[in-house]
Copies of this chain bind each other. A is one copy, B any other.
């Protein structure tokens, strides 16, 4: 797999950034404190990398989605840990499917305050994950205004993002959209409370549950969906899936990087690990899984860039396959390390834990099968490969 020029460029930028800002003790510390320090965020948004995450109106560049995906992958690989930039990127992806005007308003507003456009995305509820139709969070209109009530959970970056995008049942504003609407709610509004969620990995993503207790909504916070909510959400989930895959790809690459070094350096009974056939099999299988991961992830990203009819197929297939392959790669890497691989003295232990969450985030392995199968059958007659 050749790198495109765009990919080479972004990887070089990432490497430069990480050389300066990342080292393993810091990463470990940031995981423990569940988030990147502001200083690192600021450095990121002051660097050339910002252009990949910001909308054009505030200085973003016009690169293909493939490059953004590559950014996440390359950066996660260097960190050996899931990074919150993934949330920024999905926020950006969402913006890009909005009408230009609402986009600009939001961006301006968000950007002017923090120099970032990050907002978390609060779709899932305790009883509405796979089934978004079961959402109970509710917009109601009362004499003195509009109110939001409900509970959201597993919200990535939910602990620290200043704003959160809420999907709610809304009989009034959601009429053209099946009774649903989207609101970008400042987390510091009265009535919003945040509860950290102890996930068993992806610590820097700082998942949280958010409760909305009669939160008074400013009408300007509503996203203008105008009957296109479903399409927007579908696109958004597609892009979100590819970004999750990018993160899994970065984690898998990091695991392989570390395992290769260890296998070359460590000896047992006087023999390099890499000379042991069982370790050789692991390395070979890791390599072929990593290549599969990259192939599927990039194919999905390109499908987004080309607005391909296979967008659903390619993104769902990647989402179904990549995270689970990444877990296997991470588990093999952990095993190559032996006892130390099961401690926090290696990155592979964290990587293995981080990887696991991606089999669930943004649509589970199981629910993807349906999307894929339907698309395959649909294109049966016309497929070239």
Residues on A lying within 8 angstroms of B by beta carbon are: 1, 3, 11, 124, 126, 129-131, 133-134, 153-154, 197-201, 207, 253, 257, 260-261, 263-264, 268-269, 274, 276-281, 283-285, 287-288, 290-292, 294-296, 299, 313, 317, 320-321, 327, 331, 334-335, 338-345, 349-350, 352-353, 356-357, 359-361, 364-366, 368-370, 372-374, 376-377, 380, 384-385
Contacts and interface: CB of A to CB of B under 8 A. Distances in A.
A284 B126 CA distance: 26
The 9 closest A-B pairs by CB, nearest first: A280-B373, A284-B372, A295-B295, A198-B344, A288-B321, A277-B277, A283-B373, A280-B369, A292-B292
B154 A344 contact: no
B342 A274 contact: no
Contacts of A366: 276-279, 281, 335
A299 B288 contact: no
| Number of copies of this protein chain within its complex | 4
Contacts of A321: 284-285, 288
30 contacts: A124-B339, A129-B268, A130-B268, A197-B345, A198-B344, A198-B345, A199-B343, A200-B343, A200-B344, A200-B349, A264-B377, A274-B377, A277-B370, A278-B366, A281-B366, A283-B372, A283-B376, A284-B321, A284-B372, A287-B317, A288-B296, A291-B295, A291-B299, A292-B295, A294-B385, A335-B360, A338-B364, A339-B361, A342-B356, A352-B356
